[in-house]
Amino acid sequence: MDHRSQPNRNKCRDHLACANLKRLTTSQQIHIAFNRDAIWDDENHDTEGSHLPESVTDPTLHELLLPRRHNSNSDVAEFEQRDRRVVELLIAYSLLNLDKSRWLKLGLTVDTVSLRVTETLNSLERWKPHVSCSLASPDGEDDENVAVLSFGLLLMEMEAKRLAEPKEEDAEWGSDRPSRDGMLKRILEEWTGCVDDGYKDIATACLLFRQLSEKFYDPSLTQETRRTAAMYRYILAPLYRLVTSGFRAASELFGEFPRSAPSPSIPAPRTGQPASSSGLELFDGEERTTPNPQKVKNAEIFMEELEKFAETIELLTEKNPSALLWAPWRADKIRIMIIDTGIDKNDNIIEGALDDKRIQECCGFVNEPDAAPDPNDVQDKFGHGTHVARLVLNAAPSAEVFIAKIADDKTVNRTDLHRIARAIRWAIEKKVHIISMSLGLESSIRDTEIDAAIHAAVGLNISIFAAASNSGGNKPRAYPSSRKHGIICIHASDGVGNDGFISPTPLKNKDNFSTLGICIPSKWQGVESHISGTSFATPIAAALIANVLEFARHKCELSEHEQTVLHHYDGVCQILRLMVEKNAEARGGYDYIMPYHLWTAENSEANIIELIRECARG
Compute the chain's Rg from CA coordinates. Answer: 31
Distance, CA of 238 to CA of 447 (rounded, Å): 19
Residue type, 288: R
How far is residue 417 from each of residues 155, 225, 479, measured CA to CA in Å? 26, 20, 12
Omega before 258 within 30 of 0, i.e. cis: yes
Distance, CA of 126 to CA of 124 (rounded, Å): 6
Strands 520-524 and 527-532: antiparallel
Strands 527-532 and 286-288: antiparallel
On whether the CB atoms of residues 449 and 406 are closer than 8 A, the answer is no
Q: Could you say which DSSP state residue 587 is in?
A: G
On whether the CB atoms of residues 203 and 156 are closer than 8 A, the answer is yes
How far is residue 599 from each of residues 478, 545, 610, measured CA to CA in Å? 32, 14, 13
Is residue 313 helix, strand or coil? helix
Residue 309 belongs to what H/E stretch?
Answer: helix 293-319
Report the 10 Å Cβ neighbour count for 482: 22
Which candidate in 535, 567, 568, 591 is catalytic? Answer: 535
How many residues are recorded in the chain? Answer: 618
Is residue 132 helix, strand or coil? coil
Q: Minimal CA–CA distance to 598: which of 614, 581, 584, 574?
A: 581
Strand-pairing partners, residue 493, are 499, 516
Q: Minimal CA–CA distance to 461: which of 612, 594, 335?
A: 335
Distance, CA of 614 to CA of 372 (rounded, Å): 43
Would you call 340 a catalytic residue per the annotation? yes
Which candidate in 31, 384, 433, 568 is catalytic? Answer: 384
Alpha carbons within 13 A on the beta-carbon side of 375: 5
E strands, 438-574, are 463-467, 487-493, 513-516, 520-524, 527-532
152-204-258 Cα angle (round to 5): 60
Q: Would you please indicate which residues are annotated as catalytic (active-site) residues?
A: 340, 384, 535
